[in-house]
Amino acid sequence: MFSVGETSSKSVLQQKGIAWFIPMEWLFWVPFLSPLLGHSPWEVISISRQRHISKIHLEKGCHKGDTVEGVHDLKEYLKKFGYLNYDGSNNNHADDDSFDEFLESAVKTYQTNYHLKATGSLDAETVNKMSIPRCGVADIINGTTSMRSGKTKHHKHSSASLHTVSHYSFFPGSPRWPDSKTHLTYAFHSVSDSNILSPICARAFGMWSSASHFTFEEIEDFNAADITIGSHSMDHGDGNPFDGPGGTLAHAYAPTNGRFHYDADEEWATDLTAGSYDLYTVALHEIGHLLGLRHSSVEGAIMWPSIPSGVRKELHGDDVQGIRALYNL
């Protein structure tokens, strides 16, 4: 169940031993990457919690041709977010620590998406970017990236000819709620979830309502709700298990599935607290996915994949343009 600390600076989301950022969205922290550069994970991400990490002894990063303990973990990270796919023709090094040409290409694409110098080598800047907590929806689905490409949009509401470059994106096939379904209901998994999350999610839904044609209403009937929200731990039956403290923060499905889950084992806060994740910011991001938005390449947008601790964000113009474009508003 949820437990609230004595003050808002304490963890407000803790749930143990129950079944709980595709298209599915997760938030993912990556502690194993920092040893590739000879730093402790705590130096890179400033989170004082202990987790198992691969022991990789390399001080200057790594690149194609290297064989370094822990490179396989890097491959798993990039596979999870759609950058790396070892099929039948290129699987010789899928399960080892060899930095091959496929990994180099994947790292280079990642660097391009995140506005880094696209060298294909794992350097400190790339590791630092990967170490920031992020939403777990893949950046690349079925070979299509959700980032990088700006889209020039003409805005009809202006009397002048106004063109802006947008960087929002949609899921493959642009799934969305039916035109007749503009009033969406939501419910919480448990009373303890509701006690903590109800005011937070109401505010987040209100922000999306102001940017779109949707209205939202909390109801008690979990089974009848269009959107269901809860906190869960570890394997919770949806095929995308959480992994305890320091891993996945939250995930949500694209329309019209409606599921949104927080990881109950993380450090959560209702205010800006160093080392804790803001419940409201995560809700705002995941609701964007529930409505059909994928990730944006605008770092200031709520749909930017990374969500650091101790940070609160609001909707950005790119988010608003995205939801309005998806629903032709």
By the 8 A CB rule, do 275 and 46 touch? yes
Q: Which of 96, 113, 132 delimits the end of a domain?
A: 132
CA atoms within a 13 Å half-sphere pointing along the CA-CB vector of 195: 9
Q: Which of 217, 286, 299, 314 is catalytic?
A: 286
**Residues 82, 64 share a domain:** yes
pLDDT in tens, 253-288: 999 999 999 989 889 999 888 889 999 999 999 999
Q: Is 220 annotated as a binding residue?
A: no
**Residues 194, 62 share a domain:** no
Q: Is 243 annotated as a binding residue?
A: yes
**Residues 156, 42 share a domain:** no
Question: Looking at per-residue confidence, does 15 or 211 come out higher?
Answer: 211
Q: What sign results for the dihedral spanned by CA atoms 160, 166, 172, 177? A: negative
Q: Which of 80, 106, 132 delimits the end of a domain?
A: 132
pLDDT band for position 59 (cuts 50, 70, 90)? very low
**Residues 96, 237 share a domain:** no
Q: Side chain identity at 136, as an amino acid letter?
A: G
Q: Is 318 annotated as a binding residue?
A: no
Q: Which of 81, 108, 132 delimits the end of a domain?
A: 132
pLDDT in tens, 142-175: 777 767 655 544 444 433 333 445 689 999 999 9
Whether 286 is a known active-site residue: answer yes
Dist CA 230 CA 247 (whole Å):
17
Question: Looking at per-residue confidence, does 276 or 43 come out higher?
Answer: 276
Q: What is the count of structural domains for the chain?
A: 2
Q: Is 135 annotated as a binding residue?
A: yes
Query: Residues 7-22: what's their mean pLDDT?
Result: 34
pLDDT band for position 46 (cuts 50, 70, 90)? very low
**Residues 166, 80 share a domain:** no
CB atoms within 10 A of CB 274: 11
Structural domain boundaries enclosing 294: 1-28+140-329
**Residues 251, 159 share a domain:** yes
**Per-residue pLDDT at 132:** 78
**Per-residue pLDDT at 55:** 32
pLDDT at 227 over 80: yes
Q: What is the signed CA dihedral for 147, 150, 152, 153, rounded to 10 degrees? A: 30
pTM of the model: 0.77
